[in-house]
Amino acid sequence: MGVAAAESQFHVLAVDDSLIDRKLIERLLKTSSYQVTTVDSGSKALEFLGLQENDSNTPHETSVCPKIHQEVGVNLVITDYCMPGMTGYDLLKKIKESSSLKNIPVIIMSSENVPSRISRCLEGGAEEFFLKPVRLSDVSKLRPHLMRTKCCNQENEENKCWNQEKQVNIESSEIESQTAAQSNNKNKRKAIDEGISPDITRPRYNGHSLVSNHL
């Protein structure tokens, strides 16, 4: 199976209030064969992920969320930092506080290189911090994080944790035991991560010249 075929199964949710930047990130990700959904705010991102606004305060209601999450199947969230209303950092916190979403890797993008902001996001659980404008070379850094979630999902399926028909009334205790199962698999996952073949060498496009198109 080709690498591109495997990657096309990865679904990335991109969040940015700027239309230009949504177009850009969408093309960047699609060029790399990812499935992409774009939204223009943090609250729409949470809605898409199936998280209710009061989710983190009422643990019993989270029971319905893993199902929604599973249906949407988002493997990674990439979000702008500076947005009106909910910032990228707020969105990161909401995702990491939610029992159903916390395993989704989050990447933050910002046009401003503010060290305190970067460390705050990384400490808050972000996997990467990209300076805007995001480039093709940045997108290649997504793969290790995606492979990690992919491995989790496959293990879940193998363990029959997510039987589509039986999960309608899944109890919170089951979510917890499943999370425990995931952490037990950490070493296994790490081994898989290390086995990932290095990126296909992509030429860097810092210079500029014109050739007739032969693609």
**Binding site residues, another protein, CB under 8 A:** 18-21, 23-24, 27-28, 31, 82, 111, 132-133, 135-136, 203-215
Nearer to another protein, 173 or 201 (CB): 201
What is the DSSP code string of 65-83?
A: HHHHHHHH---EEEEES--
Least distance (Å) between residue 112 CB and another protein: 9
CB of 203 to another protein, least distance (A): 6
**Residues 151, 46 contacting (CB under 8 angstroms):** no
DSSP 181-206: HHHHTHHHHHHHHHTSPPPPP-----
Q: What angle do CA 148, 151, 155 make, to 5 degrees?
A: 145
In the bound state with another protein, the residue whose beta carbon lies nearer, of 111 and 154, is 111
**C-alpha span between 170 and 157 (Å, rounded):** 15
CB of 206 to another protein, least distance (A): 5
Tokens in use for 124? 């808050």
Q: Go through the chain and tell me how many residues it has.
A: 215
- Residue with smaller CB distance to another protein, 2 or 84: 84
Cβ closer to another protein: 68 or 82? 82
Nearer to another protein, 19 or 180 (CB): 19
Minimum CB–partner distance for residue 16 and another protein (Å) = 10
Q: How far is the CB of 139 from another protein (least distance, A)?
A: 11
Could you give the dihedral angle defined by the CA atoms of residues 19, 25, 29 and 31, in that order, rounded to the nearest 10 degrees? 80
Of 139, 133, 141, 89, residue with least CA distance to 111: 133
Nearest distance, CB of residue 211 and another protein, angstroms = 6
Q: Where are the beta strands (DSSP E) in 8-55?
A: 11-15, 35-39
By beta-carbon proximity to another protein, the closer residue of 173 and 213 is 213
Tokens of 6: 């495997």
